């Protein structure tokens, strides 16, 4: 049983990896941003979620797309 929605499972492998990378790194980045924001200045901690989470999500999407593109030839062989 897969935890991915049907729309994500229907994507090309590189796109699926990009979505998963963006979600995973974006979530981690948002959590780190919240922690850093609470430590720095709590009234504006919500902004730190976006300041750290969005770049992390973009990085996750790029790395996921590259990894999915590299893994595609091996996926087709098996």
17-63, pLDDT tens digit by residue? 999 999 999 999 999 999 999 999 999 999 999 999 999 999 999 99
Total-model pTM: 0.85
Helix (H) or strand (E) holding 60: helix 45-77
39-67 as b/e: b if 16+ CB within 10 A: eeeeeebeebbebbbeebbeebbebbbeb
CA distances from 27 to 21, 22, 68, 72 (A): 10, 8, 20, 25
């Amino acid at each position: 049983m897969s935890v991915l929605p049907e729309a994500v499972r229907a994507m090309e492998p590189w796109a699926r990896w990009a979505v998963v990378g963006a979600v995973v790194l974006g979530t981690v980045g948002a959590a780190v941003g919240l922690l850093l924001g609470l430590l720095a200045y709590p009234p504006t901690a919500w902004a730190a979620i976006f300041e750290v989470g969005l770049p992390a999500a973009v990085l996750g999407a790029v790395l996921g797309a590259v990894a999915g593109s590299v893994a595609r030839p091996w996926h087709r062989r098996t």
